[in-house]
Structure 1
Amino acid sequence: MRSVVSEMSEEGVSERKACEAARVSRTTIRYEQKEEDPINRWLRIRLHELSAKHRTYGTPFMKAIVCKETGLKLNHKRVERLWGEERLPVPRKRRRRLKVHPLTDRLGAAQRPFQTWSLDFIHHKTEYGQKLKMLSVIDDFSKTCIEVRVEKRFRAIEVIEALDELFWEYGRPEYIRTDNGPEFISELLHRWTEEKGVKLIHINPGSPWENGYVESFHDKLRRECLNGEIFFSRGEAQVVVDWWREHYNSERPHSTLGHISPSEFIRQEKWNTVDRNGLQNVH
């Protein structure tokens, strides 16, 4: 349209009449595109870098990461617009399941960090077909991943050994929630937790949503770590999972925590770590 109006103007027709004939606004003809905001130019480059590094993250997490890095207060629409203009991959939406509260009536919601732990197993294989069994321990309150231990197999005694080490590092929780796997319902584990003064709670059979915190963590572990890695040994798997666990705890934004990491959440709430006697101290 600009070329048409320009030709008519060269022939002596006024701009107003030329625009009327072309049925275009004079404001549109006079508009001159401004140079792009330097922040937008930088943001496009940074979004490409983040997209390559975090392939499963969507725009809310990308916005949270950029705001944390720069201190800028970005509008989510701005990030979404630039994401679309750069044609960056959009993570596939997962099917939403029926929302059921993850806690049973037998156990109330945790009120402080490291008060209630959730345990479960996730299975994987090495490139050579060797089976790997991973024990995950999650803090319900802060969503901190306390441990992901990789072994070829787990019995009740191995679970006890892992928990005993964690008790020395984090202190004893008040409750431990598990499913009804043979490692968790063993009499040996029940006697040991009773001696430690920890109450062992089992979810109802066939009700994995009652252990929702660790199930949600396993979904993230599978999508963001295990599905993108090839392991040749148990030791290699442990190293990679430990690296990802550190990233999960200290860098990865969590929507339920206001798009901050578990470590930041604990620091903001000014919660003290659990002492060696398992007592919770609050500043």
Structure 2
Amino acid sequence: MRVKLALEQFPTYGYRRLACVLGENRKPIQRILQLKGWQVRKRPQGFRPRAKSLPSVASRPDERWATDLTHVWCGKDRRASLAVIIDCCTREILGWRLSDNGSSKTAEAALEEALIYRLGVLGRVQQPLALRSDNGLVFSSRHYTGTVKAYGLTQEFTTPYTPEQNGLVERFFRSLKEECIWLHRFESLGQARVVIDRWIRYYNEERPHQSLNYVAPRAHLALTG
């Protein structure tokens, strides 16, 4: 059955996203999942205070980017840092870097990859562009803030202990871990790069995004950019 095969391939998808992947109406997919007991269990939410200011949103592409770091275990190469840059309008991953060279260099490399991808060359941006991050040592370091300033971006920090203010990156990392990283046991940094690169390409070009009316980020960019 196509539904079961799709659910095996995308075990974290609900009926809406499965219906989009299969090109089917949502209601029949929902009924099949209910009858078969294949529904994805919702994680308990509990109380989560929401930030009332500085939402990580944007009304157009390249108005606000957001960045963050996480860590990935890479077998014999041990722990590596993963930095990403996401567009807060399109949700597209513009640049990323997985490296064991240190978090600061990794974060800078991801930013420069995003600038090259969107501008074609490294240089100062010609229109206002904000870069959202937390207050961690990497993003508040003199070296990183100097790099951001040199490229003409306006750096903005979230309120301490409010990760929801950088929610787009937090949500991306959760999806990446649930749908990719936690499904593999990487033996090396090189293997992790190959697998993560493949998933990010899928995320940008094919993965339906609920907040984008179930189109992928690259398709949303074509509609808005």
Bucket of the pairwise TM-score, normalised by the shorter protein: 0.7 to 0.9
**Quick check: 1:111 aligned with 2:59?**
yes
Partner of residue 80, structure 2: 132
**Quick check: 1:92 aligned with 2:54?**
no
Is the Cα–Cα contact under 8 Å of residues 48 and 88 in structure 1 kept in the other structure? no
Q: Residues 189-200 of structure 1: matches in 2 within 5 Å?
A: 189-200=144-155
Is the Cα–Cα contact under 8 Å of residues 51 and 88 in structure 1 kept in the other structure? no
Partner of residue 11, structure 2: 55
Partner of residue 204, structure 1: 159
Return the alpha-carbon distance in structure 1 between the equivalents of residues 189 and 52 of structure 2.
31
In the comparison of the two structures, how many residue pairs are matched?
217
Q: Compute the TM-score of the two structures, normalised by the length of structure 1.
A: 0.70
Is the Cα–Cα contact under 8 Å of residues 66 and 132 in structure 2 kept in the other structure? yes
**Quick check: 1:229 aligned with 2:184?**
yes
Partner of residue 8, structure 1: none
Aligned pair in 2 of structure 1 residues 122, 180: CA closer, same or farther (>3 Å)?
same
**Quick check: 1:144 aligned with 2:92?**
yes
Unaligned runs of 5+ in 2: 120-124
Partner of residue 122, structure 2: none
Return the alpha-carbon distance in structure 2 between the equivalents of residues 254 and 99 of structure 1.
24
Aligned match of 2:21 in 50, 54, 65?
A: 65
- Whichever of the two has the greater Rg, that structure is 1
Identity %: 25
Is the Cα–Cα contact under 8 Å of residues 82 and 106 in structure 2 kept in the other structure? no
Q: Residues 117-196 of structure 1: matches in 2 within 5 Å?
A: 117-128=65-76, 130-171=78-119, 172=125, 174-196=129-151
Aligned match of 2:199 in 232, 236, 244?
A: 244
Alignment partner of 2:82: what SS? strand
Q: Compute the TM-score of the two structures, normalised by the length of structure 2.
A: 0.87
Alignment partner of 1:223: what SS? helix
Aligned pair in 2 of structure 1 residues 52, 90: CA closer, same or farther (>3 Å)?
same
Q: Residues 21-36 of structure 1: matches in 2 within 5 Å?
A: none
CA apart distance, 1:147: 2.7
Return the alpha-carbon distance in structure 2 between the equivalents of residues 145 and 234 of structure 1.
20
Return the alpha-carbon distance in structure 2 between the equivalents of residues 221 and 119 of structure 1.
15
Alignment partner of 1:230: what SS? coil
Is the Cα–Cα contact under 8 Å of residues 154 and 183 in structure 1 kept in the other structure? no
* Amino acid corresponding to residue 159 of structure 1 in structure 2: A
Return the alpha-carbon distance in structure 2 between the equivalents of residues 131 and 218 of structure 1.
16
* Amino acid corresponding to residue 198 of structure 1 in structure 2: L
Aligned pair in 2 of structure 1 residues 103, 243: CA closer, same or farther (>3 Å)?
farther
Return the alpha-carbon distance in structure 2 between the equivalents of residues 59 and 192 of structure 1.
43
Return the alpha-carbon distance in structure 2 between the equivalents of residues 108 and 209 of structure 1.
9
The RMSD of aligned alpha carbons is 2.1
